[in-house]
């Protein structure tokens, strides 16, 4: 599925979800990495790095490499993170031919829709980690914590243009492993109002499935909970070490 937010509407990403709002999450990642790897400028790979907002808070501490499916998002991230190596690729398939001390998959992991997708993403992480490397994953929801249907909104005022985003998120079929979000992007500029729409299907799995599949991929995983965001999403961190 081609997401407009990461392609023709990618220029809205830094306005909709500004880098400074990632400082807190990046802090949890930094702490989890330091606890497991100790001090030092360790090499860290982010799969599904998007606009590089999370990375922008980690580049002072770690040597970073970014992978994303979308050229438009990679371009945004390269502008924000000039010292970071960027590669286009799918987290289920990419092989960079080198290893890292840690791999990070933030909210992009939500785009894994089936257990086969999760297995493939974990296999990619495993293929890029040194022995006893660390994998951090931050899904927005677990099956147990998805209350749905929910409506979230963000109002981003600006001097001459403003953006309002409305997200309607629901679970059309509780028997499968996906949920659906419909986004409305309401842009106001010079008295003109433009509304764009986008549809995202994302994965929804019980916490136990994540831990089981990570174990299957050779990791010992644990769940770390931290305060989430509005609407009950976010706040989950799975930290794993390669055996
Ligand atoms: C919510 S954005 C990530 C934002 C990011 N945390 C940031 O700091 O800006 C989700 C990203 O996942 C990427 N993505 C989705 N499916 C992917 C896949 N199979 N492999 C790699 N990237 C993927 C999208 O292109 C998008 O850039």
- Say whether both 68 and 181 belong to one domain: no
Ligand 1 in reach of 73 Cβ (< 6 A):
yes
Q: What CATH number has the domain bearing residue 56?
A: 3.40.50.150
Tell me the CA–centroid distance for residue 48 and ligand 1, in Å.
4
- Say whether both 157 and 226 belong to one domain: no
Ligand 1 in reach of 242 Cβ (< 6 A):
no
- Say whether both 58 and 136 belong to one domain: yes
- Say whether both 118 and 33 belong to one domain: yes
Q: Looking at the 3D structure of the chain, how many domains does it have?
A: 2
Q: What CATH number has the domain bearing residue 157?
A: 2.20.130
Ligand 1 in reach of 140 Cβ (< 6 A):
no
Q: What is the pLDDT of residue 88?
A: 98
- Say whether both 89 and 17 belong to one domain: yes
Residue 233 confidence (pLDDT) above 80: no
Residue 229 confidence (pLDDT) above 80: no
Q: What is the pLDDT of residue 190?
A: 86
- What pLDDT digit, counting tens, does each position of 121-155 carry? 999 999 999 999 999 999 999 999 898 899 999 99
Ligand 1 in reach of 51 Cβ (< 6 A):
yes
Question: CB count, 10 Å around CB of 163?
Answer: 17
Which residue out of 20, 48, 94 has the highest number of ligand 1 atoms within 8 Å of its CB and is therefore the one to mutate? Answer: 48
Q: DSSP labels for 190-229?
A: TTEEEEEEEEEEEE---HHHHHHHHHHTTEEEEEEE----
Tell me the CA–centroid distance for residue 137 and ligand 1, in Å.
13
- Say whether both 197 and 232 belong to one domain: no
- What pLDDT digit, counting tens, does each position of 76-120 carry? 999 999 999 999 999 999 999 999 999 999 999 999 999 999 999
Q: Which atom from ligand 1 is nearest to the alpha carbon of 70?
A: 25
Domain that holds residue 111: 4-141+204-242
Q: Which atom from ligand 1 is nearest to the alpha carbon of 92?
A: 19
Which residue out of 68, 71, 74, 117 has the highest number of ligand 1 atoms within 8 Å of its CB and is therefore the one to mutate? Answer: 68
Mean pLDDT, residues 174-194 taken together: 95
- State pTM to two decimals: 0.96
- Say whether both 104 and 68 belong to one domain: yes
- Say whether both 198 and 209 belong to one domain: no
- Say whether both 198 and 210 belong to one domain: no
Tell me the C-alpha distance between 70 and 72, whole Å. 5
- Say whether both 101 and 121 belong to one domain: yes
Tell the residue number behind the tokens 């500029």, with chain if given: 189
Share of the chain above pLDDT 90, in %: 89
Nearest C-alpha to atom 5 of ligand 1 is from which residue? 50
Average the pLDDT over each of 15-29, 76-90, 95-109, 223-237 and give the range with the smallest value: 223-237
Instruction: Assess contact for 141 and 170: CB atoms under 8 A.
Output: no
Tell the residue number behind the tokens 């979000």, with chain if given: 181
Ligand 1 in reach of 90 Cβ (< 6 A):
yes
Taking all residues of the chain, what is their mean pLDDT, rounded to a whole number? 95
- Say whether both 149 and 68 belong to one domain: no
Instruction: Assess contact for 69 and 89: CB atoms under 8 A.
Output: yes
- Say whether both 65 and 113 belong to one domain: yes
Banded pLDDT at 191 (limits 50, 70, 90): confident
């Amino acid at each position: 599925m081609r997401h407009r937010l990461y392609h023709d509407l990618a220029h809205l990403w830094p306005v909709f979800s500004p880098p400074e709002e990632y400082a807190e999450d990046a802090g949890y990642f930094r702490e989890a990495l330091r606890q497991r790897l100790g001090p030092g400028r360790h090499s860290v790979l982010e799969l599904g790095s998007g606009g590089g907002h999370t990375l922008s808070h980690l580049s002072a501490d770690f040597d970073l490499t970014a992978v994303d499916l979308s050229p438009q998002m990679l371009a945004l991230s390269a502008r924000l993170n000039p010292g970071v190596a960027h590669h286009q690729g799918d987290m289920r398939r990419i092989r960079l031919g080198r290893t890292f001390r840690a791999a990070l998959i933030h909210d992009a992991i939500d785009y894994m829709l089936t257990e086969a997708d999760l297995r493939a993403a974990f296999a990619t992480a495993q293929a890029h980690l040194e022995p006893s490397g660390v994998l951090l994953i931050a899904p927005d929801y677990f099956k147990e914590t998805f209350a749905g249907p929910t409506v979230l909104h963000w109002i981003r005022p600006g001097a001459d243009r403003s953006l309002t985003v409305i997200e309607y998120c629901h679970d059309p079929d509780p028997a499968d492993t996906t949920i659906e979000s419909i986004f409305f992007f309401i842009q106001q500029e010079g008295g003109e109002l433009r509304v764009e729409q986008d549809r995202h299907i994302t994965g929804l799995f019980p916490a136990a499935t994540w831990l089981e599949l990570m174990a299957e991929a050779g990791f010992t995983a644990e769940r770390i909970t931290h305060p989430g965001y509005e609407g009950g999403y976010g706040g989950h961190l799975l930290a794993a070490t390669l055996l």
